Amino acid sequence: MFTKVLIANRGEIAIRICRTLRDMGIGSVAVYSDVDRGALHPRFADEAFALGGSTASESYLVVEKLLDVAARAGAEAVHPGYGFLAENAGFAQAVEDAGLVWIGPPAAAIELMGSKTRARAAMQEAGVPIIPGTTEPLASAEAVAALGDEIGYPLLIKAAAGGGGKGMKVVRSADEAAQAFESAQREGLSYFANADVYVERYLEDPRHVEAQVLADAHGNVIHLGERDCTIQRRHQKLIEETPSPAVDQELRDRIGKIAVDAARAAGYRSAGTIEGLLAPDGSYYFMEMNTRIQVEHTVTEMVAGVDIVREQVRIATGERLEFSQNEIRLQGHAIECRINAEDVSKGFLPSPGTITVYREPSGPGVRVDSGVTSGSEISPLYDPMIAKLIVRGADREHAIGRMLRALDEFEIGGVKTLLGFHRALLTHACFREGATCHGIVESELLAQRAEELSVEPVDAASSVDGRVSARAASVEVDGKRVEVRVLVPEPPYRELARRRRERVAAGAGGGASDVVVSPMQGTVLDVKVADGDVVEPGQVICIVEAMKMENEVTAHRGGTIAALSVAPGSPVSAGQAICTVMA
C-alpha cells in the first residue's frame, strides 16, 4: 500500500479524497493556488505545497508543477479528483512515466472515451446499445440529411471531442441540416479545438441514467447500480438520486450488464461511469463514459455502503475487488443536492463572495461534502459549488423528507445559494411524481418560488433598505423565547460612505445605461440576437461560458440591439460591452 498520495485537485473533492486516505493510514499531499492560500483543503491534508499562480491554467492544470510537488513530497501516487486533469490521458501517462502510480483508468481508456465517435464505434462493436446515428465524424451536411432520410427527424448533432452537452444542435428537418452542421463544427472548433461532429436520433423526454462501475486489474468488473441525473440546467447536474424512480430490478440488471460490457470493451480499470439515456419506451442507450470519480458518486456510496475512493486506491495498488456482483446490496434511497453559490433570480449567475455564516446540517442519514467554512471565499475563478448535501432514507419519500429537513438546517450567509431552489423543486409535484421535470427546472415560476423559499441566516448582517441594517437577537417574552431582528438605522458616516459608493458606481457607467456588459470573464457560446433586433426586458442576448458553466446575459431593458460586438467563440472579460439596447 502507498504511504503518501498527491491530490491534484482542490475544494470538496480534495478533502473527500484526504478523508479516505486517512481512513487507510495513507499520508496526503495537497496543492493550492495563490487564491486558495486560505482555503480548507491545504489545511486538511498532512502536507501542502503552493503551486503559484491564480487561475486554473496557471496552477491546477500545470503538469510539471504537479509532478515537481509529487517528487519533493515523496508521493508514490496521484489522485486527480474530477475536473482539471482527471480525464487528460497525457497527464495520466506523464504520471506513470515519472514512476508514480495513477489512481485512475489506463491512459488508453481515457483517450478512447474522450473521442465520442471512437467510443460509439467501440461500444457498437462490443454489442453495447448506442443511440442510433453515426459512428464516424460527419463529412458534410448531406450526411445529416441522409441519416434523416433513413431514420427520420428530429436529429441531434454533437461535437466528437465534446461531451456534457456543449455545442449540441437539434435538426428538425432536412433544410435545417446545413446551418446546424456548420454551427456545430464552428463551436466544436472554438471550445475543443476539434471541428469533428456526429449525429444521433434526438430522443424526446429522456432521463439521464448512469451506472457506476468498478474494475480491477484482474479482469473483475462489477456495477453499483444506477444514478438518475435527469434534473439538470444547461447540462449542469443539480440533483442526483439512486435508485432512479424510473428503473425497476429488470431494467437495473439490463443497465448494469450494459455498463459492465462497456467497461470491459474499453479495457477499463478503476471507478468509472457509463452515462446513458433512458427513453420513455424503456430503451436504454450508452451515451458516453466518464473516466473519473464523479461529483455524484456519493449517492451510490450511501446505498451500496462502499467507499468508491478507497476502491480506486486499492485497485491502483493491484489489489482485487473486495466483493463480487452478487455481494453488492443496494439499500434505501439517496439524494444529492448541489449547493452552488448561484443567484437563481439572475439565471443561475455565479454569486462569488465571502461566506459570512456557515452551519451544516447533520443528524440521521445526512452527509455533507464541502470545502468551505465561515469566512471562506467563493472565488469567481473556480467552480461555484459550496457543498454537496446528501441524504439517505428507507425509500424515496423518506429521503425527500430528510432532504427538506436538512435544507432547512443548512445556514449559509453572505452569498446567494441554491438552497431555495432545491426546496422549491423538492416540493414541486413533478419531482414528487418522479417525472423528468424538463422545462420546469428552467421555468420563471420555479425561480420565483426559489426566491420566496430563500432565507438569510438570522445572524447574517443584512441590509434592509441600505439605510437600515438588521441584526439577530433572542428575547424572552413572559418566559417564551422569541427570535427577533433588531433594525439599526445607519449611522451618519455610513450614509456618507454609501452616497459616495453610489456616485462612483453611477460615474463608472458614464451614463452608458444602454450598454449590456458581460458579468464575467469567459467565452461566448451562443448569440441569440442580431443588430437591429427588438428585444424585451430580460430577453437573452447571449450565453457566456465560464468554468464549464453557461450563463445567460439578458437585456436590462427593452429596445433595439446595436453595436453587437461578440460572436460565438469570442472571449469576453468581466464588464466588457456586448451590445447596446437603444430605447
**What DSSP string describes 389-438?**
EEEEESSHHHHHHHHHHHHHH-EEESS--SHHHHHHHHTSHHHHTT---T
Nearest 5 degrees, angle CA 247-CA 235-CA 408?
75
Least distance from C-beta 313 to ligand MV4, angstroms? 29
Stretch that binds ligand MV4, among 80-88, 195-203, 496-504, 551-559 (CB under 6 A): 195-203
Stretch that binds ligand MV4, among 181-189, 198-206, 300-308, 509-517 (CB under 6 A): 198-206
Burial zone of 139 (CB within 10 Å; 0-12 exposed, 13-18 middle, 19+ buried): exposed
Least distance from C-beta 202 to ligand MV4, angstroms? 5
The nearer residue to ligand MV4, 205 or 531, going by C-beta atoms, is 205
Closest by alpha carbon to 106, among 263, 276, 286?
A: 263
CA dist 561 → 20, 99, 520, 537 (Å) = 54, 57, 21, 12
According to CB under 6 A, which one of 65, 208, 227, 367 is a site residue for ligand MV4? 208
Least distance from C-beta 258 to ligand MV4, angstroms? 16
b/e burial code for range 513-533 (CB count within 10 A of at least 16 → b)? ebbbbbbbbbbbbbbebeeeb
Least distance from C-beta 136 to ligand MV4, angstroms? 17
302-341 residues in contact with ligand MV4 (CB under 6 A) are none
The CA distance from 403 to 364, in Å, is 11
According to CB under 6 A, which one of 53, 164, 353, 457 is a site residue for ligand MV4? 164
**What DSSP string describes 183-243?**
HHHHHHHHHHS---EEEEE--SS-EEEEEEEEE-TTS-EEEEEEEEEEEEETTEEEEEEES
Q: Do β-strands 411-413 and 197-201 pair in parallel, antiparallel, or remain unpaired?
A: unpaired
The nearer residue to ligand MV4, 172 or 467, going by C-beta atoms, is 172
Least distance from C-beta 112 to ligand MV4, angstroms? 19
Least distance from C-beta 143 to ligand MV4, angstroms? 16
Question: Could you give the string, one character per residue 71-100, with x where binding to ligand MV4 holds by CB under 6 A and - elsewhere?
Answer: ------------------------------
Binding residue count for ligand MV4, defined by CB under 6 A: 15
According to CB under 6 A, which one of 106, 188, 206, 522 is a site residue for ligand MV4? 206
b/e burial code for range 461-498 (CB count within 10 A of at least 16 → b)? ebeeeeeebbeeeeeeeeeeeeeeeeeeebeeeeeeee
Cell representation of residue 297: 458518486
The nearer residue to ligand MV4, 165 or 352, going by C-beta atoms, is 165
Question: Could you give the string, one character per residue 112-141, with x where binding to ligand MV4 holds by CB under 6 A and - elsewhere?
Answer: -------------------x----------
In 3-state terms, what secondary structure has residue 31?
strand
Least distance from C-beta 275 to ligand MV4, angstroms? 8
Cell numbers 471512437 correspond to 118
Element (H, E) at 111: helix 107-114
The nearer residue to ligand MV4, 156 or 255, going by C-beta atoms, is 156
Q: How many residues does the chain have?
A: 583
Nearest 5 degrees, angle CA 338-CA 412-CA 49?
75
Least distance from C-beta 415 to ligand MV4, angstroms? 26
Q: Under the criterion CB under 6 A, does residue 4 sit at the interface with ligand MV4?
A: no
Least distance from C-beta 294 to ligand MV4, angstroms? 13
Least distance from C-beta 546 to ligand MV4, angstroms? 18
210-269 residues in contact with ligand MV4 (CB under 6 A) are 230, 232, 235
The nearer residue to ligand MV4, 63 or 547, going by C-beta atoms, is 547
CA dist 275 → 253, 271, 337, 358, 386 (Å) = 15, 13, 19, 34, 25
The CA distance from 337 to 355, in Å, is 19
Q: Under the criterion CB under 6 A, does residue 382 sit at the interface with ligand MV4?
A: no
According to CB under 6 A, which one of 36, 76, 87, 200 is a site residue for ligand MV4? 200
Stretch that binds ligand MV4, among 176-184, 206-214, 340-348, 452-460 (CB under 6 A): 206-214
Instruction: Note whether 172 and 153 are within 8 A (CB).
Output: yes
Residue 146: HSE in the Cβ half-sphere, 13 Å Cα cutoff: 9
Element (H, E) at 538: none
Q: Under the criterion CB under 6 A, does residue 165 sit at the interface with ligand MV4?
A: yes
Q: Under the criterion CB under 6 A, does residue 469 sit at the interface with ligand MV4?
A: no
Cell representation of residue 236: 449542469
Question: Could you give the string, one character per residue 273-292, with x where binding to ligand MV4 holds by CB under 6 A and - elsewhere?
Answer: ----x---------------
84: left (phi over 0), alpha (psi -120 to 50) or beta: left
Stretch that binds ligand MV4, among 33-41, 197-205, 370-378, 427-435 (CB under 6 A): 197-205
Q: Under the criterion CB under 6 A, does residue 202 sit at the interface with ligand MV4?
A: yes
Stretch that binds ligand MV4, among 199-207, 370-378, 391-399, 487-495 (CB under 6 A): 199-207
The CA distance from 464 to 489, in Å, is 10
Binding site for ligand MV4 (CB under 6 A): 131, 156, 164-165, 200-203, 206-208, 230, 232, 235, 277
